[in-house]
Structure 1
Amino acid sequence: MSTRSLGAALVGALALSALAVPAAQAASAQDVVVGDTTITKVVVDGDNKVSVGTSAAKTIKVSVTAKDDSGIAGAETFSLSGPDYGFLTTGKPTCTKVSSTTSTCSASVKVDPKVDYLSNANAGTWYVDAMINAKDDDFAWEEKAGSFKFQRASKLTANATPEPVKKGKTLTVTGKLSRANWETLEYAGYSGQSVKLQYRKKSSSAYTTVKTIKSSSTGTLKTTVKATADGYYRFAFAGTSTTPAVNATGDYVDVK
């Protein structure tokens, strides 16, 4: 279940954790380590990118790999924090043994844009706080053990006209780049973004970039190109820190 909390509350929780273990050796101002327990890897949703739209709930999986000479006993609930006081907590992690010293502990949290009151400012870089317990009572608490992109889902369209077209004549390609607005629960145009017009011949499987244009104030796209041969035209967006990359479905054009 997801929760929200003020940044001060999270800081207070960390301070209490540190006071509870006076014998711990601090790895940094945010980290507390007892013994030889080490967090070696954090992966969120497979590729450290989470895209959330306007209607469907998203289950985010968090996996933390750690090692200790005595082996890993378990993990505490993971906390995820981001911009604009974004805060989520996972369920209780389940640990899977990788070797006698190493385990990967995984847990998940569901985000539902319809009920979780996400703000657009929540999009950006988020961090994972993790506490791993070893079998010999060693442990590692690490704030910002890993990071991931929490992004507003994107959409992109493309339409080339006229169809069919005579070879050498001008094609007009239009489309729209939009992204989720978590506050209105609708998709809205993403303005001022660089978008590539790409083309692939009917006989090819690879797209090549023809030109790069900017989306309008409403996210619309429009450009022209000379028709050369039968093939597909699409727009491609590389993404930003708050919005994932997306490619439009290629629009086939028959060139006479």
Structure 2
Amino acid sequence: MRTGRTGTVVALAGALALGALAAPTAQAADTGVTVTNMVVNGGKTIVVGPTEVKRPKFSFHVTLPGRLTLDDVDVIPFLYRYDTTPAGAWRSGGILPSGVGCGDAPSGGYNCSGDFSVDRSTLDSNGDAATWKFAVLAKVWSGDEFKTEEYLTGLGYERVKRSARVTVNASPEPAVKGRPITVTGKITRADWALDRYVNYGGKQATLQFRKAGTTTYKAVRTVTANSTGDLRTTVTASYDGYWRWSAGGTATTSGAGSTADYVNVS
């Protein structure tokens, strides 16, 4: 690679140095560069709130054809949505890296790593809660002269989901044995267009109970939130213990679990 590119660690935040890395254009060709073993975020789903910045880590292995070295090639990973093209996502709307670093691998080739920057500038629609594919843009240079590029795809995929939250309150505290306890809560999820958490109406959540002195929660019943995301149910007070809500995830939204609310029963 040229000085200051992937051979050390390259800062690619903001405009991703697009003036240096994406401005040259040439007919795409088979560069001979291969990428394998790409892992993003440890294989776990990327869950993003309404305003936070997530920096999921990535790693991959790259092999170069015999005539090329790290001084000749940029290997820049990115994520693109299932309904876009790699080239289109690279220029606008893709999840791009903050930096990439590559070094010699013991078995040959190079091991590369870094992190992506996932924030409001990329996730500007709730429709972005979807499957994103892995790709690497390989750009070949001769000194400072750009030669060709290739989009390497079929490297895997990643789910990106909206973050969900749920609260809990059990009352009265303390409760009288044999009398009712009312357990309420509210479930919300990130809205990337509005930059805040919004009501998650119609979502089901399971009320769970853990008896004092034990370590295991047991499901009590499943409740469906009303249109404003409110949860409410009544149970009979029997034992001292902890009450909480648990909601499963969907294809677009993460699961959520509340903290526990302890109720003493007398």
TM-score, normalised relative to structure 1: 0.75
User: 1:16-95 to 2 correspondence within 5 Å?
Assistant: 19-21=27-29, 24=30, 34=32, 39-66=35-62, 73=70, 76-82=75-81, 86-95=93-102
Identity %: 33
Q: 1:156 Cα shift?
A: 0.8
Q: How do 1:90-169 and structure 2 match up within 5 A?
A: 90-101=97-108, 103-113=110-120, 115-116=121-122, 118-131=124-137, 142-169=152-179
Q: 1:98 to 1:160 in 2, by over 3 A?
A: farther
Residues 242 and 216 (structure 1), Cα distance of their counterparts in 2 relative to 1, 3 Å cut:
same
User: Does the 8 A contact of 1:39 with 1:140 survive in 2?
Assistant: no
1:42-79 CA distances to partner (integer Å, 9 max, x unpaired)? 22222331122122222232222456898x95761112
Which residue, 170, 191, 208 being the options, matches 1:181?
191
Give the RMSD, CA atoms, in angstroms.
3.1
Alignment size in residue pairs: 227
- 5+ residue gaps in structure 2? 1-12, 16-21, 85-92, 140-148
Provide structure 1 residue ranges, at least 5 long, that are not aligned to the other structure. 4-12, 25-32, 134-138
- State the match for 1:193 in structure 2: 203
Given residue 111 of structure 1, which amino acid in structure 2 is its aligned partner? V
How has the CA–CA distance of structure 1 residues 90 and 229 changed in structure 2, closer, same or farther, with 3 Å as cutoff?
A: same
Superimposed CA distance per residue, residues 192-224 of structure 1 (whole angstroms, 9 cap, x where no aligned partner) = 222111111121222111111212211111112
Counterpart residue type for residue 214 of structure 1? T
Relative distance call for 1:83 and 1:164 in structure 2 (3 A) is farther
What TM-score, normalized by structure 2, do the two folds share? 0.73
The 5-angstrom pairing of residues 5-20 of structure 1 reads 19-20=27-28
Question: Counterpart of 2:81 in structure 1: which amino acid?
Answer: G
Distance 1:105 1:40 in 2: 11
Distance across 2 between alignment mates of 1:199 and 1:83 = 40
**Contact 2:102/2:113, CA 8 A, preserved across alignment:** yes
